[in-house]
Structure formats: structure tokens, C-alpha cells
């Protein structure tokens, strides 16, 4: 199949890429746009390490053909910090030990951002549910839960989560 | 400034929750894992693998529909040096040459500029085999109907055997009030690091081979590449990239994938990237050794252990790899933390035609600790005693001797750990309440316990053989760098070693960084395994720091009450004199360490970490699912260097242990893992983990960094037996094999023809 031209907005910036229509959004981000913060853990929609937000929804970018992202707004982990200022979730993950090997962290942060955007003060149960699609093999999740609770309590997390 | 006090009140950096050194890069998504790295002109590599478990290769056909001239193809004939992966023995080929001994064994390698063309090309290579009968289980290997390894040895099919004796077991049976027998088995377990194995290699005539990749042990890969390419030390360079989880799964396997990528790079004369996808990683790389342990135990009427006879068998897979050392640790943990005058342990690692099993957190200990801690439950039942009380009566204490005749010289506080675990979990009150409520509830709850130790560092004379070297230097930019080959893969190496250096040098944590993990720049401080980094390597950093301060005092007049400014000024004076500011230390064994490899007696480990874990479960007798609802851990690991990281190690290890017990099943057909997808190999998710409560007791160990002992592997040892003990408490049913899935629970209930509604604890 020949390449198609796709217009999309990535982290607030309009871009266009030429790619095979079935190329995964994950690969376009990593290979065409050099946004390697988004990771591949399984390629089958199970681990969530490729999580990004697309038009305000949380998606596994390994399951999205780029054709489907035409005209979409995409947010990746690279969008979280503003200039040198870490997002409250990033601060909390650092302080609480929510990142160990760090490979699940970008996806986990996007899932947590999505959760907090919809529910600024999630209960532990809601956090468990909100992160159920994101696997972490290092932390046993406990410090990730702590991180999300801490971030939610931090001032500004509400306004910062876009 | 004191630099080596074990008195916590005098410490500034050690023992505090410093932020992870590389943490900011990780949360920003900027940390570079191997797949995030691109080189100009780089091609991609892939592997053609065996589809049968055992046979001879007769012919290899390349389907003509593929434009093969665009590809680079490597076979065993292209290997310039030895066609083997250098591990303890040299029996595993780098590429199969004429014969295959397990499914998914690498046979040939291909590379192409477009990685999307590789899967089709791999599928277009057809291999004709003459199939031979395969050995697919421990029992088949034991039967010796087929000899698949060591035909010329006195123990064919056996990679390694240990016999360990203490006292006289045979004379003890007659005086026993009770003899209890049991058989326990554990399955394979996949590491499931979220970053798959991957490596980039490049070759030049001047520089030789350089590899960048996801790995635990740079010098293991280094040694292996030297052998495969027949190159001298300085012509092989190994650089670790940010590593997305390892758990032992990147201890030995990276030597294979690095060799493969480098062979392609040598032939293609360009950089080659090889990244496994999840299916290939699951099918082709190492797992935890499956095991079978048999116990026969004599006890007196008061529940005191009189004699233990233990027979251990592990499945090592097709090549010996690390099976002998895994078996050693399994053997040395088989009696649990108990004292017994008469012990005989016989253990063997068996060859089968499956993918070689390898290192995984705990390294044999979780297997045999599962067995002994289930067996203690059975003994308690047989003698009619509370299983908690039975354990307490048999605990090791200071001055007791272990199975290897090691005298416990350091304080052993198992009683204290047990008391605290019982208290924080409210053990007895809960046990009573669950028993009461279970009578009328289809969901049966229960509580169970496990007590255990984990030996820190290499076994026996291992640390002396490693002869590790580590240290610190000071850069022109005014940073102290930690020089080690110990790697970071999530467990916190960077952070704790920087804390130790800062503490020892009397400077701040921010003044310390890690030297790049590059074999051209760092000394060999040994592999990052065996819970040895905090205790052994950390201690070398502490000594190096102390040594540097001493030198600065002598050579640069550093005063006793120096400031940060004084320190760096003195360093520059030293640099003017010596040309560099560097301090290295070599391993020295603690005094009184004696080990005999032939009789397997002496100090098995310089120190032990100790723990008591309590699991609570809910078993649904309608859906047959078992769920862990609460989990308490109490442990003594020496000094806790960083409380956040230490608790993170325990929580992560417990979650993996829960998976080991209740979720994770490697399903093999002909020795090939056929559930090799995350959809079908299930690990605990955010919704499956219970609250995990972590408590530390701290008894500083004089020969560890600021008193630290090992911590990383300990938490994987206890969950599985604690959980199955809790299930026994909940249902009255005793299960002896893991993983224990709902279908296993169902089968047990169905086999009794019982209505689950009628089952009470
Ligand atoms: S890589 Fe997309 S869900 Fe795992
Ligand atoms: S931090 Fe390693 S997988 Fe989550």
C-alpha cells in the first residue's frame, strides 16, 4: 500500500507525516517524530507502556493505525513537563518511588494524567481501575498508587492536567 | 567527619529517601533504552529458530520469493572464534551447527535495512530435520531412556549434583515420634520485564566490537564476545543502555543476543539493531527453573526436627548455563531457617529439550523455600501443633549451625520478626474470625505464614573468586563518580551507591554521579546479581571513599572538619600531584570465612537476610479463584540504605511472588512456550495486588556498606508458601504445586465429588 499524508497535532504542535496507512501510531511517534518517550512492551494492547491520549481518550498507540489518527490531537509523555517544570504527577512519581526501571512510566503517567483529568481526587479503588490497563513488573504498583494520590493532593494538579 | 559509622544518628545521606539518580530522565520520557537509539546506516537483525525440540539439521532452504541478495545472512560457519556462549561451561552453541536441542534454538541470523521485511523473511527459511526423541520433563530425563547431555560422563543427563550431609540421618528415624513425607513442585516463571531483550552492535577493524544494550552484567557479555570473536579484551566494548527491568532475565541471555547482533554487524559492516518482540522474548529466552522437592522429616513429640532428608530435582533445559549455581542456592535454602541435627540433601539439575532455564530473582531459593514452608505446615498437622509454634520451636538462633555447619555468628532475630509479623497482621484474631465466618460464607478466607532467609552475595568461595574491584574518582568538572560494573535496572544501584559514596566522602548526594556503564571506563565489580550490590559492592565504595579521604588528609592537608569546598580544593591538589583523583578497592573476605566446595561445608554466605511474611487470601468456592487480600512483610536486611527504594524492592518482589503462586503459568508443547503473549501469560495487575505492608528491623552487618545486607531477592522467596498455607487455612485443602490456578482448585473439589458449598475450613 502506498504512503498517505496524515495531519495531526502532537503535544500542541501541528505536524504532518507520510506513512503507510496501517503503520502504528506508536511507530510514527518513535520513528518519524523522534518521540521515543512512548514505549513498546507487547505490541498487542496488553501492557499499556505505549499509552498516549488521543482526542482526550487514553489509547494504546500500538493498536492505532496512523490512518485513524488523521486530524487527531495526540498527547504523549513529552507534553507533561512545561519548560523545566515537572508535572505534579512526574514530581510525585519521583518522590514516592513510582518509577523503578522506568519503562512503564511514560504510559503509566499518561494513564494517570487521564484519570486525574476526569477525576481530580480518585479513591484507591478508582486508581486501581484507572491503571488496570498498565502493567508494571517492578513496583508491585503500591508506590504508583501512592504517587497518584500524592499528585492529586498537590496544588495545581487540577489546572495542570489538560 | 566520620565516614563509616554504623551509628544511624551520625549519617546524613545513607538511610534517607534520596530521589532516584536517573529518576528525572525516566519520568520525562528522556531515558534512552536500547530501542530508543538509532545509528546512521543501521540495519535490523532477526533470528531463524528451531521448530523442533531435538534433531539433526539436514538442509536449509531459502524460499525464492524473497530477494535474499538484499539481506545479510549469518550461520555458524561465520563465527570467527568459538561457537559457544561462555558461561560456567561451554556447551551452549551461539548458533546451532548441525543439531538442535530445543525449540526456538537459534540457527541462523538475517539482517535487512527495513525491519518490516524481516518476519516474512524469517518465515521463508525452511529447515529439514531428522527428528530425534525429545526429553521434555524431569521424570523423562531421570528415566535415562534418552541420553541428551553428558553421555561421556558418569552421570548422564545431570548437569550438576550436590550431596550435603550433617549428622546421621539414617540413625534418627527410629527415635522419631512422627515421620512426615511430602512432595512439592514449582513451575517455570517468566521475568516479564516490560522492556524485551535488545542489543545494538557495531564493528570496525580498529575498534573491534562495540555493543549497546539492555543487560545486567557488562563483563559477562564482554567475556562471551571475546570467545565468540576470538578478540582480545580491549577490542570488545560493552555499554549498558537504560534497562527496563531484568530480575535475572538479563543476566545470561544478553550474551547470546549480543553475540548475534555482533556477528551480523561483522558481516554487514554496519551497525545492527536486534530487538525481540514480546512473542520471541517469551518463547526464546530464559525462565525460572521448574522444580520438584521431596521431603522426609523425623520430629519428636514436641515438634522438634530430628532429621531432614531432602531430594531436589530441577529442570535445567537443554544446556547447562547457570543451572549448577541455581541448584547450589536451591540446596542451601532447602532446610529453611530451622535448626536440625541430622540432614541429608541430594540435589540434581536435569537436562531436558527445552529452552535453557536461567537466573530469576531468588535463583533457586523460592523453589525450595516453597517446599519447606509448605512441608512445615504438613508437619504441624501431623503432630497436632499450631504451625506458627512449630516454626518457633525450630528456628535457628545465634550460635546454631546450619546444614553446611555454618555457625550463626551474627544475631538471628527470627523470634522478634515472627512476633512483629503476628502483631502487625493481627494473625490470631483474624484466623479465628475467618474460621467463624467461613462456616456460612461461600468465599473462604484464610491466613498463612512463611519464615525464611536469603543468603547475601555469591555462594561459598564465589565472592573471593570474583575478586571485585570498584571505587570512585573525581572529574575535572568537580563531580565524584562511582566506578562500578554494577548496573541499574530499576532496583536502585545508581542511587544507593551514590548515597554510600556521598556518606563516605562527607559530601552531598548531588555531588556524586555514576560513571557511564561502559567496560572501557569501569572496573569489574562483578555481576549485578545475587543480592550482592548493596552489601559487597557498596562496601567497596565505602572503603574507597574512606581511603580517598585518608589520602587527601595526607597529601593535600585536608582538615578534619572539612567543608565541601575544602574537599574539592584538596582533590585538585591531589590531581596536580598524581594526574588523577581516583581510589579503588578490591574485595576482601570477612574474617573467619571458610568454605569447602567438595564437602559443601562452611560459610555458605557471609550474611543472611531474614523474614517472616503473612498472607491473607479469599477463595471463592463458586468461581474457584483465589485472591490475596492483604500481605504483611517483616524483614531484617541489615541497614536500610534508602527506605523508599527498599520498600519498593519488597513490594515489587511480593507482587512477583503472588504471580508465581497464583497466576503465571508457562505452558509448553514440545518444549515450546505456546502461551507466549501477554494476553495468555498473566501477571498480577493494579487490580490484583493486595495492600503490601513493609516493616524493617535493622541489624547492621559489619562487612556490608554502612551495615547493609542483600535485599533484592528476599521478597520473592516468601509469598508463594505463605499464600498456599493461607489457602489451606481457608479451605482445609492442601495444595503442593504452583502455579495454583482456578482450574486446579476446581479439579481438587471436583475430584472429591463435593459440593463446594459444603466445604468448610
Ligand atoms: S505495547 Fe501497546 S499495549 Fe503493550
Ligand atoms: S518501573 Fe519497571 S515496569 Fe514499571
State the pLDDT confidence band at B760, using cuts at 50, 70 and 90.
very low
Q: Which residues pair with B351 in a beta bridge?
A: B317
Number of domains in chain B: 2
Q: In what order do the strands lie in the sheet with B607-620?
A: B443-456, B607-620, B626-636, B692-697
Which domain-ending residue is among A79, A97, A124? A79
How far apart are alpha carbons B152 and B135 in whole angstroms?
Answer: 18
Kindly list the residues from chain A whose CB atom is less than 8 angstroms away from the CB atom of residue B273. none
**Cβ within 8 Å, pair A101-B679:** no
Min Cα–Cα distance to chain B from A35, Å: 9
pLDDT per residue as tens digits for the range B308-334: 999 999 999 999 999 999 999 999 999
Cα(B488) to ligand 1 centroid in Å equals 24
Which domain-ending residue is among B556, B586, B616? B586
- What Rg, from alpha-carbon coordinates, does chain B have? 27
Ligand nearest to the CA of A38: 1
All 3 cell numbers of residue B500? 554510600
Give Cα A8 to chain centroid, integer Å.
17
How far apart are alpha carbons B18 and A95 in whole angstroms?
Answer: 8
How far apart are alpha carbons B630 and B722 in whole angstroms?
Answer: 11
Cα(A11) to ligand 1 centroid in Å equals 20
Cα(A104) to ligand 1 centroid in Å equals 10
Same structural domain for residues B388 and B519? Answer: no
Same structural domain for residues A70 and A112? Answer: no
Kindly list the residues from chain A whose CB atom is less than 8 angstroms away from the CB atom of residue B711. none
Which residues are CB-neighbours of B179 under 8 A, at least 6 positions away? Answer: B173, B296, B297, B298, B299
All 3 cell numbers of residue B183? 512432595
Cα(B20) to ligand 2 centroid in Å equals 14
Q: Which residues pair with A89 in a beta bridge?
A: none
Same structural domain for residues B171 and B313? Answer: yes
* Three-class DSSP labels, A16-50: EEEECCCCEHHHHHHHHCCCCCCCCCCCCCCCCCC
Q: In what order do the strands lie in the sheet with B236-240?
A: B72-74, B106-112, B43-49, B272-275, B198-204, B208-213, B236-240
* Three-class DSSP labels, B682-699: CCCCCCCCCCEEEEEECC
**Mean pLDDT of all residues belonging to chain B:** 96
- What Rg, from alpha-carbon coordinates, does chain A have? 15
* Three-class DSSP labels, B232-299: CHHHEEEEECECCCCCCCCCCHHHHHHHHHHHHHHHHCCCEEEECCHHHHHHHCCCCCCEEEEEEEEE
Kindly list the residues from chain A whose CB atom is less than 8 angstroms away from the CB atom of residue B192. 137
Considering only the beta carbons, identify the residue of B26, B243, B245 that sits closest to A137: B245
Helices (H) and strands (E) in chain A, counts: 6, 5
Q: What is the pLDDT of residue A155?
A: 61
All 3 cell numbers of residue B494? 545508581
User: Domain holding A124: CATH number?
Assistant: 1.10.150.120
Q: Is A49 in the pocket of ligand 1 (CB under 6 A)?
A: yes
Residue of A96, A100, A135 to mutate for B, most B C-beta atoms under 10 A: A100
Size of interface A-B (CB pairs under 8 A): 164
Q: Residues B499-508: what's their mean pLDDT?
A: 98
Considering only the beta carbons, identify the residue of A42, A101, A135 that sits closest to B685: A135
Separation in Å, CA B490 to CA A11, A104, B247, B277: 28, 11, 9, 21
Q: What is the pLDDT of residue B757?
A: 53
Atom of ligand 2 nearest to the CA of B245: 2
Confirm whether B88 is domain-assigned: no
Considering only the beta carbons, identify the residue of A38, A135, A140 that sits closest to B654: A140
How far apart are alpha carbons B660 and B225 in whole angstroms?
Answer: 33
Q: Are strands B443-456 and B469-474 parallel, antiparallel or unpaired?
A: unpaired
Helix axes A142-153, A105-118, angle to 10 degrees: 40
Neighbours of A124 (CB within 10 A): 12
Q: The cell 539518580 sits on which residue?
A: B21
Whose alpha carbon is nearest atom 3 of ligand 1? A45
Same structural domain for residues B26 and B146? Answer: no
Range of the domain at B500: 8-31+468-586
Please enumerate, as own/partner, the contacts of B547-552 that have beta carbons within 8 Å and a separation of 24 or more: B547/B583, B547/B585, B548/B472, B548/B505, B548/B581, B548/B583, B549/B1, B549/B3, B549/B504, B549/B505, B549/B506, B551/B583
Which domain-ending residue is among A20, A52, A79? A79
Separation in Å, CA B518 to CA B39, B102, B477: 18, 33, 20
**Cβ within 8 Å, pair A101-B244:** yes
Number of domains in chain A: 2
Separation in Å, CA A129 to CA A112, A119, B252, B640, B686: 11, 12, 36, 32, 7
Cα(A49) to ligand 1 centroid in Å equals 5
All 3 cell numbers of residue A109? 503517567
Q: Longest C-alpha distance within chain A, in Å?
A: 50
Q: What is the pLDDT of residue B4?
A: 47
Same structural domain for residues B476 and B367? Answer: no
Q: What is the pLDDT of residue B461?
A: 84
Same structural domain for residues A97 and A71? Answer: no
**Cβ within 8 Å, pair A44-B32:** no
How far apart are alpha carbons B280 and B256 in whole angstroms?
Answer: 14
Confirm whether B564 is domain-assigned: yes
Min Cα–Cα distance to chain A from B380, Å: 32
Residue A128 contacts B, CB cutoff 8 Å: yes
Confirm whether B448 is domain-assigned: no
Same structural domain for residues A28 and A55? Answer: yes
Same structural domain for residues A67 and A96? Answer: no
Q: Residues B612-618: what's their mean pLDDT?
A: 98
Separation in Å, CA B467 to CA B375, B439, B458: 38, 59, 11
Q: Is A3 in the pocket of ligand 1 (CB under 6 A)?
A: no
How far apart are alpha carbons A143 and A157 in whole angstroms?
Answer: 18
State the pLDDT confidence band at B10, using cuts at 50, 70 and 90.
confident
By C-alpha distance, which of B458, B708, B396 is closest to B595?
B458
Q: What is the pLDDT of residue B152?
A: 94
Confirm whether B317 is domain-assigned: yes
Atom of ligand 1 nearest to the CA of A50: 2
**Cβ within 8 Å, pair B652-A97:** no
DSSP B656-668: HHHHHHHT----E
Residue of A10, A101, A128 to mutate for B, most B C-beta atoms under 10 A: A101
Q: What is the pLDDT of residue A92?
A: 98
B612 and B418 Cβ atoms separated by less than 8 Å: yes
By C-alpha distance, which of B658, B664, B660, B688 is closest to B676?
B664
Q: Residues B659-679: what's their mean pLDDT?
A: 98
Confirm whether B687 is domain-assigned: no
Q: Is A103 in the pocket of ligand 1 (CB under 6 A)?
A: no
Atom of ligand 1 nearest to the CA of A26: 2
Which domain-ending residue is among B530, B559, B586? B586
Q: The cell 549451625 sits on which residue?
A: B401
Q: Which helix (H) or strand (E) holds B129?
A: strand B125-131
Q: The cell 528525572 sits on which residue?
A: B24
Same structural domain for residues B204 and B320? Answer: yes
Q: Examine the pLDDT at B736 and tell me if it is beyond 60.
A: yes
Q: Examine the pLDDT at B441 and tell me if it is beyond 90.
A: yes
Please report how many Cα atoms fall inside a 13 Å half-sphere around the Cα of residue B145, on the Cβ side. Answer: 10
Kindly list the residues from chain B whose CB atom is less than 8 angstroms away from the CB atom of residue A1. none
Considering only the beta carbons, identify the residue of B23, B27, B245 that sits closest to A138: B245
Min Cα–Cα distance to chain A from B265, Å: 22
Confirm whether B158 is domain-assigned: yes
Same structural domain for residues A20 and A53? Answer: yes
Q: What residues 10-69 of chain A have any CB closer than 8 A to a CB of chain B?
A: 30, 36-44, 46-47, 49
State the pLDDT confidence band at B531, using cuts at 50, 70 and 90.
confident
Same structural domain for residues A131 and A157? Answer: yes
Q: What is the pLDDT of residue B11?
A: 86
Q: Residues B528-546: what's their mean pLDDT?
A: 94
Which domain-ending residue is among A29, A49, A79? A79
Residue of A21, A102, A108 to mutate for B, most B C-beta atoms under 10 A: A102
User: Domain holding B490: CATH number?
Assistant: 3.30.365.10
User: Domain holding A71: CATH number?
Assistant: 3.10.20.30
Confirm whether B410 is domain-assigned: no
Residue ranges lining ligand 2, Cβ < 6 Å: A 99-105, 136-139; B 194, 245, 490
Range of the domain at A43: 4-79
Kindly list the residues from chain B whose CB atom is less than 8 angstroms away from the CB atom of residue A39. 33, 35, 194-195, 244
Whose alpha carbon is nearest atom 4 of ligand 2? A136
Q: Would you say the pTM of this structure is higher than 0.90? A: yes
Same structural domain for residues B205 and B306? Answer: yes
Q: Examine the pLDDT at B223 and tell me if it is beyond 60.
A: yes
State the pLDDT confidence band at B2, using cuts at 50, 70 and 90.
very low
Kindly list the residues from chain B whose CB atom is less than 8 angstroms away from the CB atom of residue A141. 651, 655, 685-686, 689
All 3 cell numbers of residue B319? 544446556
Ligand nearest to the CA of A41: 1
| pLDDT tens for chain A, residues 1 to 162 | 689 999 999 999 999 999 999 999 999 999 999 999 999 999 999 999 999 999 999 999 999 999 999 999 999 999 999 988 999 999 999 999 999 999 999 999 999 999 999 999 999 999 999 999 999 999 999 999 999 999 999 865 445 544
Q: Which helix (H) or strand (E) holds B330?
A: helix B323-332
Q: Residues B196-217: what's their mean pLDDT?
A: 97
Which domain-ending residue is among B392, B419, B437? B392
Q: List b or e across B345-361, with b for residues whose CB sees 16 or more CB atoms inside 10 angstroms.
A: bbbbbbbbbbbbbbbbb
How far apart are alpha carbons B473 and B571 in whole angstroms?
Answer: 10
Q: Is A50 in the pocket of ligand 1 (CB under 6 A)?
A: yes
How far apart are alpha carbons A98 and B180 in whole angstroms?
Answer: 45
Residue A93 contacts B, CB cutoff 8 Å: yes
A105 and A98 Cβ atoms separated by less than 8 Å: yes
DSSP B29-59: T---BGGG---TT-EEEEEEE-SSSSEEEEE
How far apart are alpha carbons B263 and B111 in whole angstroms?
Answer: 10
Q: What is the dihedral of CA B144, B146, B148, B152, to 10 degrees?
A: 70
Give Cα B167 to chain centroid, integer Å.
32
Q: What residues 140-159 of chain A have any CB closer than 8 A to a CB of chain B?
A: 140-145
pLDDT per residue as tens digits for the range B139-176: 999 999 999 999 999 999 999 999 999 999 999 999 99
Which residues are CB-neighbours of B191 under 8 A, at least 6 positions away? Answer: A137, B245, B246, B247, B248, B249, B286, B287, B360, B361
Q: The cell 521478597 sits on which residue?
A: B715
What 3-state DSSP class applies to A122?
coil
Considering only the beta carbons, identify the residue of A86, A102, A104 that sits closest to B31: A102
Same structural domain for residues A27 and A71? Answer: yes
Same structural domain for residues B147 and B263? Answer: yes
Q: Residues B407-430: what's their mean pLDDT?
A: 97
Same structural domain for residues A29 and A70? Answer: yes
How far apart are alpha carbons B741 and B729 in whole angstroms?
Answer: 17
Considering only the beta carbons, identify the residue of B648, B654, B692 that sits closest to A100: B648
Neighbours of B77 (CB within 10 A): 9
Kindly list the residues from chain A whose CB atom is less than 8 angstroms away from the CB atom of residue B31. 102
Whose alpha carbon is nearest atom 2 of ligand 2? A101
Cα(B693) to ligand 2 centroid in Å equals 20
Amino acid at each position: 500500500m502506498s504512503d498517505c499524508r496524515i495531519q495531526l497535532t502532537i503535544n500542541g504542535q501541528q505536524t504532518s507525516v507520510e506513512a503507510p496507512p496501517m503503520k502504528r501510531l506508536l511507530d510514527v511517534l518513535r520513528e518519524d517524530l523522534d518521540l521515543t518517550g512512548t514505549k513498546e512492551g507487547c505490541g498487542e494492547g496488553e501492557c499499556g507502556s505505549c499509552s498516549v491520549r488521543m482526542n482526550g481518550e487514553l489509547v494504546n498507540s500500538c493498536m492505532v493505525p496512523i490512518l485513524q489518527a488523521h486530524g487527531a490531537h495526540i498527547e504523549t509523555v513529552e507534553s507533561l513537563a512545561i519548560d523545566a517544570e515537572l508535572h505534579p504527577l512526574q514530581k510525585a512519581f519521583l518522590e514516592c518511588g513510582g518509577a523503578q526501571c522506568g519503562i512503564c512510566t511514560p504510559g503509566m503517567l499518561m494513564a494517570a494524567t487521564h484519570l486525574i483529568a476526569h477525576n481530580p481526587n480518585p479513591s484507591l479503588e478508582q486508581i486501581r481501575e484507572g491503571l488496570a490497563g498498565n502493567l508494571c513488573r517492578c513496583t508491585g504498583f503500591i508506590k504508583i498508587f501512592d504517587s497518584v494520590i500524592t499528585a492529586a493532593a498537590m496544588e495545581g494538579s487540577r489546572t495542570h492536567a489538560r | 567527619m566520620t565516614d563509616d559509622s554504623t551509628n544511624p544518628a551520625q549519617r546524613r545521606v545513607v538511610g534517607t529517601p534520596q530521589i532516584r539518580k536517573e529518576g528525572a530522565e525516566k519520568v520525562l520520557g528522556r531515558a534512552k533504552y536500547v530501542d530508543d537509539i538509532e545509528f546512521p546506516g543501521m540495519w535490523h537483525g532477526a533470528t531463524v529458530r528451531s521448530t523442533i525440540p531435538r534433531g539433526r539439521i539436514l538442509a536449509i532452504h531459502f524460499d525464492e520469493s524473497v530477494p535474499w541478495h538484499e539481506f545479510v545472512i549469518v550461520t555458524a560457519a561465520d563465527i570467527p572464534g568459538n561457537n559457544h556462549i561462555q558461561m560456567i561451561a561451554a556447551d551452549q552453541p551461539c548458533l546451532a551447527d548441525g543439531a538442535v536441542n530445543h525449540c526456538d534454538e537459534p540457527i541462523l541470523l538475517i539482517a535487512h535495512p527495513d525491519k518490516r521485511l524481516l518476519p516474512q523473511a524469517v518465515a521463508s527459511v525452511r529447515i529439514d530435520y531428522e527428528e530425534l526423541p525429545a526429553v521434555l520433563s524431569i521424570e523423562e530425563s531421570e528415566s535415562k531412556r534418552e541420553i541428551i547431555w553428558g553421555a561421556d560422563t558418569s552421570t548422564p543427563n545431570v548437569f550438576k549434583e550436590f550431596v550435603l550431609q550433617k549428622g546421621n540421618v539414617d540413625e534418627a528415624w527410629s527415635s522419631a515420634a512422627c515421620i512426615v513425607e511430602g512432595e512439592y513442585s514449582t513451575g517455570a516463571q517468566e521475568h516479564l520485564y516490560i522492556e524485551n531483550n535488545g542489543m545494538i552492535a557495531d564493528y570496525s577493524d580498529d575498534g573491534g566490537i562495540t555493543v549497546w544494550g539492555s543487560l545486567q552484567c557488562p563483563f559477562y557479555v564482554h567475556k562471551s564476545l571475546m570467545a565468540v570473536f576470538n578478540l582480545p579484551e580491549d577490542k570488545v566494548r560493552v555499554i549498558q543502555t537504560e534497562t527496563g527491568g531484568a530480575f535475572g532475565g538479563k543476566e545470561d541471555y544478553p550474551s547470546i543476543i549480543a553475540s548475534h547482533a555482533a556477528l551480523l554487524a561483522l558481516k554487514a559492516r554496519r551497525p545492527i539493531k536486534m530487538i525481540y518482540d514480546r512473542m520471541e522474548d517469551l518463547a526464546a529466552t530464559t525462565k525460572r527453573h521448574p522444580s520438584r522437592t521431596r521431603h522426609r522429616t523425623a520430629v519428636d513429640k514436641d515438634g522438634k526436627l530430628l532429621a531432614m532428608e531432602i531430594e531436589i530435582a530441577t529442570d535445567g533445559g537443554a544446556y547447562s548455563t547457570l543451572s549448577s549455581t541455581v541448584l547450589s542456592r536451591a540446596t542451601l535454602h532447602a532446610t529453611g531457617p530451622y535448626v536440625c541435627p541430622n540432614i541429608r540433601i541430594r540435589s540434581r539439575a536435569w537436562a531436558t529439550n527445552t529452552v535453557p532455564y536461567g537466573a530469576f530473582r531468588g535463583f533457586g531459593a523460592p523453589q525450595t523455600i516453597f517446599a519447606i514452608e509448605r512441608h512445615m505446615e504438613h508437619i504441624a498437622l501431623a503432630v497436632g501443633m499450631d504451625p506458627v509454634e512449630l516454626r518457633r520451636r525450630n528456628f535457628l538462633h545465634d550460635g546454631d549451625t546450619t546444614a553446611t555447619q555454618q555457625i550463626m555468628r551474627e544475631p538471628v532475630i527470627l523470634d522478634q520478626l515472627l512476633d512483629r509479623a503476628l502483631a502487625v497482621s493481627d494473625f490470631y484474631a483474624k484466623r479465628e474470625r475467618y474460621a467463624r465466618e467461613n462456616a456460612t460464607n461461600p468465599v473462604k478466607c484464610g491466613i498463612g505464614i512463611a519464615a525464611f532467609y536469603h543468603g547475601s552475595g555469591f555462594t561459598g568461595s564465589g565472592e573471593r573468586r570474583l575478586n571485585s574491584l570498584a571505587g570512585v574518582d573525581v572529574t575535572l568538572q568537580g563531580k565524584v563518580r562511582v566506578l562500578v560494573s554494577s548496573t541499574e535496572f530499576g532496583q536502585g544501584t545508581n542511587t544507593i551507591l551514590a548515597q554510600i559514596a556521598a556518606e563516605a566522602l562527607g559530601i552531598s548526594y548531588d555531588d556524586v554521579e555514576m560513571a557511564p556503564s561502559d567496560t572501557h571506563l569501569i572496573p569489574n565489580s562483578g555481576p549485578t546479581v545475587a543480592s550482592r550490590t548493596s552489601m559487597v559492592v557498596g562496601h567497596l565504595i565505602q572503603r574507597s571513599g574512606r581511603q580517598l579521604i585518608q589520602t587527601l588528609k595526607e597529601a593535600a592537608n585536608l582538615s578534619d572538619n572539612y567543608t565541601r569546598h575544602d574537599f574539592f580544593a584538596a582533590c585538585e591538589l591531589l590531581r596536580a600531584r598524581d594526574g588523577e583523583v581516583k581510589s579503588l578497592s578490591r574485595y576482601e573476605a570477612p574474617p573467619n570465612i571458610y568454605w569447602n566446595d567438595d564437602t559443601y561445608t562452611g560459610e555458605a554466605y557471609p550474611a543472611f537476610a531474614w523474614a517472616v511474611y503473612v498472607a491473607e487470601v479469599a477463595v471463592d468456592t463458586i468461581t474457584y479463584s483465589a485472591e490475596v487480600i492483604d500481605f504483611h512483610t517483616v524483614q531484617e536486611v541489615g541497614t536500610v540504605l534508602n527506605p523508599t527504594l527498599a520498600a519498593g524492592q519488597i513490594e515489587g518482589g511480593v507482587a512477583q511472588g503472588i504471580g508465581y503462586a497464583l497466576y503465571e503459568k508457562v505452558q509448553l508443547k514440545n518444549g515450546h512456550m505456546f502461551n507466549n503473549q501477554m494476553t495468555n501469560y498473566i501477571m498480577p495487575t493494579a487490580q490484583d495486588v493486595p495492600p503490601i505492608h513493609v516493616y524493617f528491623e535493622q541489624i547492621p552487618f559489619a562487612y556490608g556498606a554502612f551495615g547493609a545486607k542483600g535485599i533484592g531477592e528476599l521478597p520473592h522467596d516468601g509469598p508463594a508458601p505463605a499464600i498456599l498455607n493461607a489457602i489451606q487455612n481457608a479451605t482445609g485443602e492442601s495444595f503442593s504445586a504452583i502455579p495454583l490456578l482456578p482450574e486446579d482448585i476446581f479439579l481438587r473439589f471436583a475430584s472429591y465429588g463435593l459440593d463446594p458449598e459444603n466445604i468448610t475450613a
